[in-house]
Structures are given as C-alpha cells and as structure tokens.
C-alpha cells in the first residue's frame, strides 16, 4: 500500500460528495469532536445545530477543523481535513442569502438534515433555537491509499 497526498481539487471534490463528518473545536487546550451532517457549496461548509457545548466552544474559539473519511478495507481509505473559521448565520437580513444557501444545500444532502440537532434524546434544558453556521475554509489537506499491484 502506498499513501498519497491528494490535490486540493481532489479534496474539494470529495468534500462535495460527502454529507457526514467530524467537527472539532477546542477550548482551554481541550479538543472536542462531534459527528455532524454538513453541506458544501465549493467555498464554505454549512451546518445546522442547536445550542450546546459545540456552539459555546466555537463562539469562544472560532478556529475549527472538519474531518471526513472513507474506508473500504485496511489498505483502501482516504481522509480529508479542513481547517477553517466558524461563523454563525443568525436570522437577520444581512445573513439572508447565506441562510437560504445553507438550507437549500442541507435539504439536498439529506431529508433529515435538521433531525439530529433537534432530537428528543438531547438535553431538554438546552434551548432548541436553530443555529445555522458556515465554516470559512482556510486550508484543506487529504491523503488516500493506492494498493500495490502484485
């Protein structure tokens, strides 16, 4: 097996084909990683959630990381990591276009894009106010394997 670096174009293409990943944030030198549904428009990553630890931490430190991967066997896999900045898109006129894009893209990706954030299993003490956000991509890297032919 050979591990190859993916080009930026390959990474962006794979990001556009994927709807589920792991979002990482940090506070006081403590990392936190959560699974998320997301959509990608070629420039930004969009997501939907409700208030909780992830949002609280991203508000304090907007530097985030999103990881996606695929694995079909021990020697056939790929991984893409996006480094970026979190931005909330509140329900205000100046964010109207971005919120519309986010809703349209998320709806295209999954019919239940909103459900994990509003699930009845979540902590009832937290507000269920919807939070739409985007991640401004600063850097993207990726690696994939290439099985050796024998």
pLDDT of residue 74: 86
For residue 120, name the pLDDT band (cuts at 50, 70, 90): very low
CA dihedral 24, 15, 44, 100 (to 10 degrees): -110
Domain residues of the chain, as ranges?
2-146
CA gap 52, 54 in Å, rounded = 6
pTM, entire model: 0.86
pLDDT tens, position by position, 124-150: 555 577 899 999 999 999 999 987 655
What's the mean per-residue pLDDT of the chain? 88
Q: Could you tell me the CA-to-CA distances from 97 to 38, 44, 104, 129 in Å, in that order?
A: 17, 13, 11, 20
Residue 28 has pLDDT above 90, yes or no: yes
pLDDT exceeds 60 at position 112: no
pLDDT number for residue 121: 45
CATH number of 2-146: 2.30.110.10
């Amino acid at each position: 097996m050979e591990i190859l670096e993916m080009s930026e174009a390959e990474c962006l293409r794979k990001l556009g084909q994927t709807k589920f990943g792991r979002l990482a944030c940090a506070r006081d030198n403590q990392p936190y990683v959560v699974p998320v549904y997301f959509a990608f428009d070629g420039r930004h990553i969009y997501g939907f959630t409700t208030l909780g630890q992830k949002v609280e931490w991203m508000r304090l430190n907007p530097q985030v990381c999103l990881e996606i991967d695929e694995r079909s066997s021990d020697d056939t896999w790929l991984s893409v990591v996006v480094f970026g900045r979190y931005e909330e898109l509140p329900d205000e006129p100046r964010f109207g276009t971005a919120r519309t894009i986010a809703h349209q893209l998320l709806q295209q990706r999954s019919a239940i894009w909103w459900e994990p954030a509003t699930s009845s299993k979540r902590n009832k003490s937290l507000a269920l106010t919807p939070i739409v956000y985007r991640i401004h991509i600063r850097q993207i890297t990726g690696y994939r394997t290439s099985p050796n032919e024998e």
